[in-house]
Chain A
Amino acid sequence: DAGVIQSPRHEVTEMGQEVTLRCKPISGHDYLFWYRQTMMRGLELLIYFNNNVPIDDSGMPEDRFSAKMPNASFSTLKIQPSEPRDSAVYFCASSFGFSSYNEQFFGPGTRLTVL
C-alpha cells in the first residue's frame, strides 16, 4: 500500500513568492497533520485535521501560512508570501482513530528553501 505522499520533494523559491505544498494521506486515515522541522526548533506541529476539518491551528506561525483539506485524500499547506526563515522540511503525517496511541505515518517531506 502507498504511504503518505507529499509533493514536491524539494522546492527552491525566492522571498515573496507563494509556495504550495501538497499531501495525500493514507487511504482510510481520518487524521492529517502538518509539521515543520528545523535544526533550531526540531519538529513542530503546525495544524491538524480530523475528517477534513481543522481542529487545532495554534502552531501555524503567522497569517502567511494557511492549510486546507478539501477532501479526505488531499491537503495543502500554503505560504504567501514566503520568507527565508520559512526554509525547513515540511512533513505531512496521517493516522487513524482518536486514540493518542495510534501511530502517525509520515510522508517523505518537502524540503523548502526560500532565497
Chain B
Amino acid sequence: RKEVEQDPGPFNVPEGATVAFNCTYSNSASQSFFWYRQDCRKEPKLLMSVYSSGNEDGRFTAQLNRASQYISLLIRDSKLSDSATYLCVVNIPQAGTALIFGKGTTLSVSS
C-alpha cells in the first residue's frame, strides 16, 4: 500500500462548481497533514494545513478523519485560477519535520 494515495484525476469542472478531493494515508502515527498546490512547471506551495477539527480558508475546506486515515479538500465556487495539481501531504512520524507527498490530483476549471 502506498503511503499517501490520491485519485490523480484529472477533474474537469466549470467555473462556479464545487469539487472535492480525497486522500488516504497509511501510517496511523502521522500527526501533521497538509494540502499543497503545484501549478504547471512550478514548485509546490502550501495551500493549507489540515487540523483534526477541520478548517476553512475562504472557498477551501479541509477535513481529517483519523479513524479512516482520510483527508479531504473541498473547493467551492471554483475559479479558473484554481486550475492546478493539489498534493496531499503527511509527516513521517519518526522523522520530525520530514514530509511524504502524494502524487497529486489535477484540477482543470473551464469557463
Report which A residues bind B (CB closer than 8 A): 31, 33, 35, 41-45, 48, 50, 55-56, 91, 95, 97-104, 106-109
Contact indicator B102/A42 (Cβ below 8 Å): yes
**5 further interface pairs, Cβ-Cβ under 8 Å (given A44-B101, A91-B44, A100-B96):** A31-B97, A42-B102, A45-B99, A45-B100, A56-B98
Contact indicator B99/A100 (Cβ below 8 Å): yes
Given A103-B46, A106-B43, A109-B43, decide whether A42 and B95 contact each other with a Cβ distance below 8 A. Answer: no
Contact indicator B49/A101 (Cβ below 8 Å): yes
Most A CB within 10 A of own CB, among B43, B87, B100: B43
Count how many pairs of residues, one from A and one from B, have CB atoms less than 8 Å apart in the complex.
55
Given A100-B32, A106-B44, A107-B43, decide whether A42 and B98 contact each other with a Cβ distance below 8 A. Answer: no
Contacts of A42 on B, CB cut-off 8 Å?
Answer: 101-104
Contact indicator A43/B87 (Cβ below 8 Å): yes
Contact indicator A91/B99 (Cβ below 8 Å): no
Contact indicator B95/A108 (Cβ below 8 Å): no
Given A43-B44, A91-B43, A109-B43, decide whether A104 and B96 contact each other with a Cβ distance below 8 A. Answer: no
Contacts of B101 on A, CB cut-off 8 Å?
Answer: 35, 42-44
**CA A33 to CA B49, docked complex, whole Å:** 19
| B59 lies within 8 A of chain A by Cβ | no
Contact indicator B102/A48 (Cβ below 8 Å): no
Contacts of A104 on B, CB cut-off 8 Å?
Answer: 46, 97, 99
Chain B contacts with A in 57-94, Cβ cutoff 8 A = 87, 91-92
**CA A95 to CA B91, docked complex, whole Å:** 14
Q: Separation in Å of the A59 CB from the closest CB of chain B?
A: 9
Contacts of A98 on B, CB cut-off 8 Å?
Answer: 96-97
**CA A107 to CA B44, docked complex, whole Å:** 9
